[in-house]
Amino acid sequence: MSSGAGRRLVEVQSTNRRSGATTVLNIGEVLAQLSADFPSVTASKIRFYEEKGLITPQRTPAGYRQFRESDVERLRFVLGLQRDHYLPLKVIGEYLEAIDAGLTPQNLPPGVSIAPRMVSDDLESRLKGRPRRLTPEQLRSESGAGIELYETMLSYGLIDIRGGTFDDQALKVAQACTALAAHGIEPRHLRPFQAAADREFGLVERAVGPLSSRRGGTSALRAAEMAREIAEHCLNLHSALVQTRIAEMETS
């Protein structure tokens, strides 16, 4: 790169910083930022980390990599864990997956911190459309459930933990159970709801069975949409039947 081109690049980056635009770096500039702390880092090692999915730099139409601040912070995280704690990439990758999901990785080595900018803006926007995953602590905090109620919901199968986390549906169940517990209705009283839900799901599954058995992604999407529609009708029916009984209380 000529000295004139180098000056123009610096000027563009300075302008980006002043204007609040996202600064992008090429692989040489990333190496320059990292080499003081990690002298052994090379371009081939960075490309290897990309192949393993630990970083996801953007590409220009011509195919050149464009690294953002989040990519550099992720590289610092990976390189530091390998150098200081000798961790395998599989474990480091699991840490990064947890961070990308908005969770704090479990069993991080002592003294390891997570930089605020390890998740890029574009990844944050994509994650907004994903279902949330909640840790047990987050589930209890957001639902207001105590330890005893939480453990009882688990034992009765009202909430299901997968991979150490819960989904938004589990949070809704926990919130409902917490509210009902305030009226003296305990999880053991709610087992008929679980049985009824299983039966309703069986009806839905049989109804969409012919469509879901067809090959092709479109058929699977249509089956899922039909299942949601049928489930909505089941919920409306259930609500209407309960409301009918309540109305009879008022007139008796």
- Residues 188, 245 within the same domain: yes
CA-CA distances (angstroms) from residue 213 to 207, 218, 220, 226? 11, 12, 8, 14
Whole-angstrom Cα distance, residue 117 to residue 114? 9
In this structure, which amino acid lies at residue 124? E
pLDDT number for residue 9: 39
Q: Which domain holds residue 37?
A: 3-127
The answer to whether the CB of 26 falls within 8 A of the CB of 65 is yes
H or E element that contains 16: helix 3-19
Q: What crossing angle do the helices spanning 43-51 and 69-85 adopt, rounded to 10°?
A: 100
Domain boundary among 127, 149, 169: 127
CA torsion through residues 116, 119, 121, 124, sign: negative
- Residues 166, 83 within the same domain: no
Domain holding 92: CATH number?
Answer: 1.10.1660.10
pTM: 0.46
- Residues 81, 186 within the same domain: no
pLDDT number for residue 212: 63
Kindly list the averaged pLDDT for each block of 10 residues, start to end, along the chain of length 252.
40 40 84 95 93 86 85 95 93 87 83 80 53 84 92 91 86 92 89 84 84 60 80 84 86 74
pLDDT number for residue 67: 93
- Residues 86, 146 within the same domain: no
Domain boundary among 127, 159, 184: 127
Per-residue tokens: 106:
């479990």
- Residues 122, 141 within the same domain: no
